[in-house]
Amino acid sequence: MAIRRPVIAGNWKMFKTVSEAEDYAVKFLEEVKDVTDLDIILCAPFTALYPLKNELEESIVHLGAQNMAWADEGAYTGEISAQMLQDVACTYVILGHSERREMFGETDGEINKKVKKALTVGLTPILCVGENLNLREEGKAVERVQGQVSRALEGLSTEELSRIIVAYEPIWAIGTGKTASSKDAQQMCASIRATLTSLMGLDAEKIPILYGGSVKADNIAELMTEPDVDGALVGGASLDPLNFAKLIINANPLPARVEGI
């Protein structure tokens, strides 16, 4: 029997100085030290990663970045490489967040190169996909999201695919206070799993698929009851350590999500 271990990842976006991050880590670790049923990831700004490496060492909380370059090194002013992230003990990296796609023009092709690079060095990509409100209203949300998944994962082996996390984040729900209903989240996460199945067969049942978009301490439990929602990517509600710890505790994961694999 295989189990998809639930994942709750915080995305701090462009918030927190080094001292704020250190202060957060101390408070947060105290609150979540007894959590055993899910993986917790903090995706911090680049400048806070090294100090957090020291704070989170030997804790149950994993460290993630919010972006990285597809190149190894070289004349890429302003970029951060996968190896640099590894050097500060990052094990996860958010790739293709809608804010990067929309504001910084990231394309599916670039995201595909970044996913490949992350996997090559052993980082786990948290691949973000999601439709905007127009596409949802036009009934094209599934087509868009399945296309984003396929293009971002093009050319990956089954072994590589088995090391990814996907986050479904409808753009209209990010930072707006509007959460997709748990049924809508389930429907899209199931569509994403169907796409993964077409790429990698039954092993798709082992891939964590997260929901993101105004997830809070008071709506996480309902989302987690859906069979294909394996956790959450949390922006605003991850910024306060006590609030985020409460959300994690409320996630109350079911012990086994997949049977008979």
Residue numbers at the binding site for ligand PEP (CB under 6 A): 11, 13, 169, 174-175, 212-215, 233-237
Rounded to the nearest whole angstrom, what is the least distance from the CB of residue 249 to ligand PEP in the complex? Answer: 17
The residue type at 116: K
Residues 248, 45: Cα–Cα separation, whole Å: 21
The nearer residue to ligand PEP, 85 or 167, going by C-beta atoms, is 167
In sequence order, which residues have a C-beta less than 8 Å from that of residue 74 and are 6 or more positions away? none
Q: Which of 62, 97, 106, 131 is catalytic?
A: 97
**Residue 240, by phi and psi: left (phi above 0), alpha (psi -120 to 50) or beta?**
beta
Question: Which residue from 156, 165, 166 is spatially nearest to 113, judged by alpha carbons?
Answer: 156
Question: Which residue from 158, 77, 192 is spatially nearest to 184, judged by alpha carbons?
Answer: 192
Q: List Cα–Cα distances, 147 to 131, 151, 176, in angstroms.
A: 11, 6, 25
Rounded to the nearest whole angstrom, what is the least distance from the CB of residue 103 to ligand PEP in the complex? Answer: 12
Residues 142, 258: Cα–Cα separation, whole Å: 23
Rounded to the nearest whole angstrom, what is the least distance from the CB of residue 259 to ligand PEP in the complex? Answer: 29
The reply to whether 97 belongs to the active site is yes
The nearer residue to ligand PEP, 16 or 205, going by C-beta atoms, is 16
The nearer residue to ligand PEP, 188 or 234, going by C-beta atoms, is 234
Rounded to the nearest whole angstrom, what is the least distance from the CB of residue 260 to ligand PEP in the complex? Answer: 32
The nearer residue to ligand PEP, 212 or 231, going by C-beta atoms, is 212
The nearer residue to ligand PEP, 10 or 253, going by C-beta atoms, is 10
User: Of all residues in this chain, which one has the CB nearest to ligand PEP in the complex?
Assistant: 235
Residues 255, 80: Cα–Cα separation, whole Å: 37
Are the C-beta atoms of residues 33 and 54 closer than 8 Å to each other? no
In sequence order, which residues have a C-beta less than 8 Å from that of residue 12 and are 6 or more positions away? 21, 42, 43, 44, 45, 48, 66, 238, 239
Residues 212, 126: Cα–Cα separation, whole Å: 11
Local structure of residue 202 (DSSP, 8 states): G
Rounded to the nearest whole angstrom, what is the least distance from the CB of residue 237 to ligand PEP in the complex? Answer: 6
Rounded to the nearest whole angstrom, what is the least distance from the CB of residue 166 to ligand PEP in the complex? Answer: 13
The nearer residue to ligand PEP, 45 or 213, going by C-beta atoms, is 213
Residues 222, 150: Cα–Cα separation, whole Å: 28
Q: Which of 55, 99, 106, 169 is catalytic?
A: 169
What are the residue numbers of the active site?
97, 169
